[in-house]
Structure 1
Amino acid sequence: MRVTGNLGRNLRVAALASAALFAGSAHAQSTVITADKMVDVLTGKMIDNPAIFVGADGRITSIADARTVKWGSDVTHINLSGKTLLPGLIDMHVHLDGPADIGGYRGLEFTDSFWGMTAVKAAQDMLRAGFTTVRNVGSTNRNDIGLKQAIENGYATGPRIVPAGYALGATGGHCDSTFLPPSLEKTDKEEGIADSEDELRYQVRRQRKYGAEVIKVCATGGVFSRNTEPGQQQLSERELRVIADEAHQWGLRVAAHAHGGDGIKAAIKAGIDTIEHASLVDDEGIKLAVARARPVWFSMDIYNTDYTQAEGAKNGVLEDNLRKDREVAQIQRDNFRKAHDAGVKMVFGSDAGVMPHGLVGGQFKVMVQYGMTPIEAIQAATRNAAQALGREKDVGAIAVGRFADIIAVDGDPLADVRELESVDAVIKGGKAVN
């Protein structure tokens, strides 16, 4: 296709600059990635014959037309002929240390360190599915922080992780331990659990101290906890505002688990950055989300019910949890459509861990089924997610200065978003993932 406007001019300038650069100093680049086409998620356009040059630091240095530039023999060439390139995908709601096939009381069969071990495979599965960045919204024993450190230091393979450490919540709420009798519980509160504004403020500081890069809070009850209902508000607007203000002061963003309408509205009014699930949002909540000056994003996991209803009982999930899952599922999907139609900002969040981590690409088709165009669904998992993370300089687009986190598919994902269910190649930081 012919590229016009500012993008076309930029590509022509980049091509000329690249040609001059590589004529005399190919050593300035370390890798070039070529393919037939590339999705530019910032414009929504398809680009022909991209040549993406990557420096030794894994960041993109220039993008040109592969037909007009040359590179030296000392430049590694990743040739993805016949493929379409997209930015590495971003999942804004995962639990890497939660195997989907272990539910209910079956978790008591395993020792405490078991869950961190399973996170290693989950991270690999997500990376190979094309998700080069994930936001892990709550883990036990800070497994997400430890795994992030292991990946960054070469001891494990996986995506870039934005960890939360322990999720914050009220005693007896969704983020607390609610499956055991008092005689088997700790005498002190679980990590992250707080029952006053001062305690909540302390927990924000404590999670940050030990490596959290996002704060997760449970504003309402949940589906897969015991003795809570999804619609129950469990923290007040004032308590949520304390969390948001404290986190923002430290430069952190906040994700609020919120199924119920009142909890969603309280979280939006309190300044929370992303609303997780948003299942029972009402018209007033949608209007608040659209109108708020500080951007708020909905992260709605509208695919995983297919797995939980099919496999949950076999995996040990309690019937009461499956009941809540059934009651919420279709309402959430309908509200996804309503929120999207109203103009709510939306990101991709799968709740991987509730379903197997390697299957999360299946959510794209459901997002399209419930109102998004393919490019909007893709942007939710790239451009929008990077904005919601505050990491637009690093991830979310194939653009100069950002990490060369790139995936490739055979067909045209703008015509058939199900191409993203089976990714053909994954590149992270300019290096191919095996």
Structure 2
Amino acid sequence: MIEIITIGDELLIGQVVDTNSAWMAAELNKAGFEVIRITSIRDRKDEIIQALENAFQRADIVLITGGLGPTRDDITKQTLCEFFNTRLVFNQAVYDDMKTFLKGRVCKINKLNEGQAMVPESCEVIRNPMGTAPVMWFEKKKEVVVSMPGVPSEMKYAMTHSIIPKLKEKLDTGYIIHETILVYNITEADLAERLSEWENQLPEEVKLAYLPAPGRIRLRLTARGRDNQLLENYIDEALRGLYDIVGDNIYGDEDLPVAEMFGNYFGTTGKSLAIAESCSGGYLAHLITSIPGCSNYFKGSMVTYSNELKAAVLGVRPDDLEKYGAVSQSVVEQMAMGARKIAGTDYAIATSGIAGPGGGSDEKPVGTVWIAWAGPDQKMISKCFRFGNNRERNIIRTSETALIELMQLMRAGML
């Protein structure tokens, strides 16, 4: 079992977000290792030592990032010397690597840079071509400590090229299989209730995790054991049961963001898309254009927030805006038709709703959203959703639901 410790005052005051531990845990998990705890601590000698002592009560391997820079506040190296009862010694290979890395970057190597070549005598040095601080591997009986730089690119290179391969040589991790199923249009509580009996029948080697996000849920099945074929059989059987129960709510089986999944799907259809946005305010276009290659199918977006622009740009009838309001089936369908006509695309999406926190009514409370999808042969489908009273979530849910539903409608041959 592995514990991760990230070091740095900047992590605890919110100045820097700790992305290192999340990335490390994901990669270790893929490799079959179990991460049991992640701890962030300050650059304080006593806190580093206490964290190591506590970690070894739970784990055999501790991975550390941070505190290896050349400045006075970086004390991890000196603290590890004390913890392992060793001393710093000059390492020529580290010094040569540092000179190579800094060549052309600095005019001359100063004493602080030179200090990077001082390493604990008892550690195994893992050279770091991505920076100036080496990776240090310590072993004491069955306990292992690996200290890495906190710079993400340096840590990732070390983990990928050295540390994970070395850990796999040292430990027999068995097999681990992950399968992620993406579910939408159902609450976590309702989903858990529907899956209760199915979950109770899962083999003990298979565990289920619920990972909710606004409007959708990732279901992660994890199987661990020594027999890979048996684990695959368990997962396949579990998936068949899952699809039987909630197949209509499943929109994907790849652990990808909605926009990337949509791009992967729609990009293979050879069709084109335009959108007209009101309540989503351009966020839907942002999601689509965040994916490389979207220019092959996405023609553009019209953000028509006011009624005047809905009429002038998209051709929405002023009488319908007056009679039904902007948040209505009639208006959102006209928006979709107008966007498809203007852009000359195969498909179009339109959104109109009350994002909040104000503007709602008894008939149309905050979170009421209409989405329309226009397709070939004048096909049109529209739906009304009630998303809640959080403005940011409403914008995100509107945009992601628009993409998910279009994929589902096209797969079902309904649009």
* Band the TM-score falls in, shorter-chain normalisation: under 0.3
Report the TM-score when normalising by structure 1.
0.24
Report the TM-score when normalising by structure 2.
0.25
Task: Name the structure, 1 or 2, with higher relative contact order (CA <8 Å, separation 6+).
Answer: 1
